[in-house]
Structure 1
Amino acid sequence: MAGHSQWANIKHRKAAVDAKRSKLWSKLSKAIIVAAKLGGGDPSSNIRLRTAIIDAKAVSLPRDNIERAIKKGTGEIEGGDVEEILYEGYGPGGVAVLCDILTDNRNRTAPEVRKLFDNHGGKLGSTNCVAYLFERKGVISIKQSTIDLEKLMELALENGAEDVTESGEYFELTCPPEAYSGLVEALESNQVTIETKEVSRVPSTTVEVDSETAVSVMKLLEKLEDHDDVQSVASNVSFTEEQLASFQ
């Protein structure tokens, strides 16, 4: 699973300088709505909601927005008609691509996502054509220069992490989704600076592609990430450092 943070770090760095904060807030609000809809409005007993709130606070989503999204999800106010869909397909070079979708109109979203695949050398696929290649995991990346590995290993494994690996200049922690919020809280309470964090779909194996295909894959992933209804995108491609540098 090492290397998953490659794309995560690219997209988070781009988001950090992206003026489209309202779009990001909208996506996070949808995640809160669905979490509250499925598991209730109490984050202490709803792990998914607690995770969504952690992610929302990380990008300064106002408390009022969070509370309003929870109420939409629980049905206290209108606006909670959002459903969760998984779209699967193939990118350039046949790489596997998964899109987690939250939408209030699948008849609008499906053709828009299909067009993005078609326009960038990919193809939307059928149910379970690539989903079996991925597992849902909490993934946290921390710059190696900010913490001693031994200290991080001890802290991570005591708080639910399954593994700590090195990926470029980062340490990458993986954990089951249910351990994610507790692990994040433990790291932050110990003044560990987290570079990126998310619950996402991690490939069991990865594939490498040539430089030209890598650029095409990155463009597809970026366009999918930018869609209003796409919560997250995962792929089983493994980029080289040179390929990553050429895209940043």
Structure 2
Amino acid sequence: MRRLSSLLPSVTGLARPARPACALLCQHHARPLSTTQAASAGHNKWSKIRHRKGAADIQKGIMRVQHSKMITLQSRLHGPDSAQTAAAVTAAKKAGVPKNVIEGAIARGQGRSAMGTALDALTLEVIMPPGVALIVDVETDNRLRSLEDLKHLVKTHKGRVGSSAAFLFTRRGRVVFDASGDPSPSLDDVMEDAIEAGAEDLDTDADGNVVVWTQPNMTTAAMESLAPRFGGRVLSSEIVWDPNEETKVKVDAAGDAQTLGDLVAALQEYPEVQAVYANAAKGTISDEEWSWVENSLDS
């Protein structure tokens, strides 16, 4: 909680005995029933395989995004040739992150594309069934191309672009510190320093890391001020779109969750998308169905 105020070879030449007409007739009429059962079983098996593969693909995509963000952060904070960036690159390589993704992440930390072109920030507002609002943060060297690609992606997933969604969110600064190492101060230990650095709220995530919330313009100052207390272990430092609790939309239909999750996963795979936020909340769907959405979102 916040304080201060997260898958038989054919034998030619041998004649086969003729079957009685009644057997042929019976077989003809029985075949549709047998075929229907086989198709149903095959469909169920394929659905399970497709679901498992989809879940594995999402996890792979999440892993790639996480490593890419860490490389970008270290490149931005410490430089492209720093030991911190090198460590992040090594971890990404061990996880199988492609070379072009790694190179792009390093360059992005310096405010440019892998080709050396300056990046331009772009925000996309999207509405998805059943009224869920999405904010997509993009950094691109070609606004028109990215807009065209992303609009097409949203349209193919039953969404619409251009609707006003930003008012459903609050822009906030968020810095996450790794509290698992040494030193590992508690919330109480850093509370006074955090307030002086401009923190509005302190929190811990599911992994026990310390989360500091600030006004957007105080994000960097809070990060720089508190980083030494955690031995410089900064997991993230960013300005996020925090959905307003009173305007969150519950997702009750499995089909809506599937479509929303598919879009978010596709957006996260787009190289120039930096983050995807949504004001979606779990409704009456199962935990497994909800995880399709939740695991792909930035929060």
Task: Give the TM-score normalised by structure 1.
Answer: 0.62
Give unpaired runs (5+ residues) of structure 1. Answer: 7-12, 29-49
Mapped to 2, the partners of 1:245 and 1:131 lie a distance apart of 23
Counterpart in the other structure of 1:151: 189
Secondary structure of residue in 1 paired with 2:239: strand
Identity %: 24
Deviations 1:140-190 (A, max 9, x none): 345787653322433422322111245555554211222212222333211
Deviations 1:182-220 (A, max 9, x none): 222333211265554422222233333236234433332
Counterpart in the other structure of 2:265: 222
Please provide the CA RMSD for this pair.
4.2
Secondary structure of residue in 2 paired with 1:121: coil
Counterpart in the other structure of 2:252: 210
Counterpart in the other structure of 2:287: 242
Task: Give the TM-score normalised by structure 2.
Answer: 0.53
Mapped to 2, the partners of 1:244 and 1:142 lie a distance apart of 30
User: Larger radius of gyration, structure 1 or 2?
Assistant: 2
Give unpaired runs (5+ residues) of structure 2. Answer: 7-58, 90-101
Q: 2:134 is matched with which residue: 90, 97, 114?
A: 97
Q: 1:184 is matched with which residue: 186, 207, 223?
A: 223
Contact 1:211 1:243 in 2 (8 A): no
Change (3 A) 1:142 1:83: closer
Deviations 1:36-89 (A, max 9, x none): xxxxxxxxxxxxxx9981397664578xx659946x69xxxx944543322111
Mapped to 2, the partners of 1:20 and 1:183 lie a distance apart of 22
Alignment length, in residue pairs?
A: 206
Q: How does 1:10-29 map to 2 (within 5 A)?
A: 17-18=63-64, 24=68, 28=72
Q: Which has the higher contact order (CA 8 A, sep 6+)?
A: 1
Change (3 A) 1:208 1:14: farther
Contact 2:61 2:265 in 1 (8 A): no
